[in-house]
Structure 1
Amino acid sequence: MAIHKLILDDVFDEVPCTLIAIHCSLEDYRLAYLLNKNLKISLKRRSKDLDYFNDKSTYAIFEWEDCKQLITWSLVSNTSKNKILSETAMGSLFETAEQISQTSYLIPENKSVNYFLKIDSPLEFTEEKQLLKTILDSSQITTAYSIDASQLKSKDNLIFN
């Protein structure tokens, strides 16, 4: 009896995208407004945030679908701050619970990044350079740069659908 082996390496190739890291101290809605104004796009907040690890971390996400070019733009926060209750050690006189703030990251290897702008299509070098220049022209944004999404360990967290 012959053994048939299917090789599916080409079927599950990664979808190429453009990923831009943004460092700034703005709130997410202010950054979305600033990008909408400067890039002439229309990012809108999703009705539900990204939910990872069963409500232990949620990340704000704004999206815009460019129907002319069939491209989806996504602005997502890299940090999630949650308050958890921790009880004091056993044997203490008073048993109280205190709140501890816990920070988790969408892309843990880039903890210093505040937001990611993901464009579901690879841009040409000149287009990407112009996009970065337009983003950096704003005085509220500290810095922005491109990241190769295929090199990230936690690239699966960038799948938003």
Structure 2
Amino acid sequence: MALHKLLVDDFYDASYSLLAVHCRLEDYRLAYLLNRSLNLKLKRQPQDLDYKYFAATYAIYEWFDEEFFTTWHLVANVCKKEEDSLQSSGSLFSTNEKVLKTYHLLPEFKNVDFFIKISNDERYLDEKQMLEKIQSIPQVITTYTIDVDKLKSKDNLIF
């Protein structure tokens, strides 16, 4: 009897582009500047992206372009959270020290501050022109395209 094995990855085809943005702006400020330079209408979602496993939340902005049937997402890659530090049990005095921990949406891109996910079935986008417009924003350090097929943690981008 023959054994047939189906792989789920064979059926999943990423129909989106992913841009990495390096800048030290707050998320709302970057969304405003992107709206102005790319003529978008990004709005903050009522619920942040929440990963309970990592205990981290990431700010997310979304806009659906009805003219080109394209969904735009701006999502933060960095979540900084203050947590209690671990102490040894042999301590004479109890101290409540806090430690600032940093979590990343895509751990393989720790230097990236934000991602722009552009979902479009036809993939008709002039990425070069978009990159030039984003790069023309004075507060943006750099921006580039990420190959989605080579991502290890692409499951974090399903939202």
TM value normalised by structure 2: 0.90
1:101 aligns to what? Answer: 100
Question: Which deviates the most, 86-95 or 143-152?
Answer: 86-95
SS across alignment from 2:133? helix
1:9 Cα offset (Å): 6.0
Give % identity: 47
2 CA distance for matches of 1:105 and 1:130? 28
Q: 1:95: Cα distance to partner?
A: 1.4
Counterpart of 1:132 in structure 2 is 131
Deviates more, 1:50-59 or 1:74-83: 50-59
Q: 1:97 is paired with a residue of what secondary structure?
A: coil
Query: Cα 1:46–1:15, aligned 2, differ >3 Å: closer, same or farther?
Result: same
Unmatched tracts of structure 1, length 5 or more: none
Deviation, 1:105, is: 0.3
What CA deviation, in whole Å up to 9, does each residue of 1:8-53 have, x standing for no partner? 6697222321110000011000000000000000000000000013
1:153 offset after TM fit, Å? 0.2
How far apart, in 2, do the equivalents of 1:141 and 1:28 lie? 12
Question: What CA deviation, in whole Å up to 9, does each residue of 1:101-120 have, x standing for no partner?
Answer: 11010000000000000000
- Decide whether aligned partners of structure 1 residues 4 and 93 sit closer, same or farther in structure 2, where only a CA change above 3 A counts: closer
Partner of 1:47: 46
| Structure 1 position 118 matched with structure 2 position 117 | yes
Alpha-carbon RMSD across the aligned residues, in angstroms, is 2.0
Please tell me whether the aligned partners of residues 14 and 149 of structure 2 are also in contact (alpha carbons under 8 angstroms). no
What letter is aligned with 1:129? Answer: K
Q: What's the TM-score, normalizing by structure 1?
A: 0.89
The residue number in structure 2 matching 1:34 is 33
Change (3 A) 1:9 1:25: closer
Q: Distance in 2 between matches of 1:137 and 1:146?
A: 16
Q: Distance in 2 between matches of 1:87 and 1:6?
A: 45
Deviation at 1:72, TM superposition (A): 0.6
Q: Deviations over 1:65-105 (max 9, x none)?
A: 11121111000000011111124321212112211111010
- Which segments of 5 or more consecutive residues in structure 2 lack a partner in the other structure? none
Structure 1 CA distance for aligned equivalents of residues 5 and 153 of structure 2:
27
Relative to 1, partners in 2 of residues 1:52 and 1:10: Cα closer, same or farther, differing over 3 Å?
A: closer
Structure 2 matches for 1:37-76, cutoff 5 A? 37-54=36-53, 56-76=55-75
Tell me if the contact between 2:75 and 2:116 (Cα under 8 Å) persists in the aligned partners.
yes
Structure-2 residue corresponding to 1:17:
16
